[in-house]
Amino acid sequence: MKNGGIRSKPVGESSTRDSEGELWSKLWSLWILPLVRNFIWRGLHNSLPTEDKLVWKGMLIDRVCVLCSNSNEDLVHVLVTCPFSSRFWLTTPWNLLTTGQQ
Ligand SMILES: [Zn+2]
């Protein structure tokens, strides 16, 4: 849409792109191992090779989490809800997750 010669964007579109651009700039400027940076980027783009993703791409494999066998292995399960990953997050010094039982 044109507005007096200035091209305007729908409300919220540019601020979302600006904040995403800012997020990626911060991520790429972090002083962390490139491997970790790549892992974070792939996680945020849901491109980690979880069992769920591999089945979606046509591989004939079992989707169940190999660590706990309690759920299909998708990104959220691997990083958050799997009992093994939950234990990791609860023991980090950053206190990223809480159990509600403090
Ligand atoms: Zn699991």
Beta-bridge partner residues of 2: 7
Contact status, residue 72 vs residue 66, Cβ threshold 8 Å: no
Q: What are the pLDDT digits (tens) for 42-96? A: 988 888 999 989 999 999 999 999 999 999 999 999 988 999 988 888 887 776 6
Q: How far is the CA of 58 from the centre of ligand 1 (A)?
A: 21
Q: How far is the CA of 77 from the centre of ligand 1 (A)?
A: 6
Cα three-residue angle 76-80-81, rounded to 5 degrees = 85
Full-model pTM? 0.60
Domain range list for the chain: 2-91
Q: How far is the CA of 30 from the centre of ligand 1 (A)?
A: 29
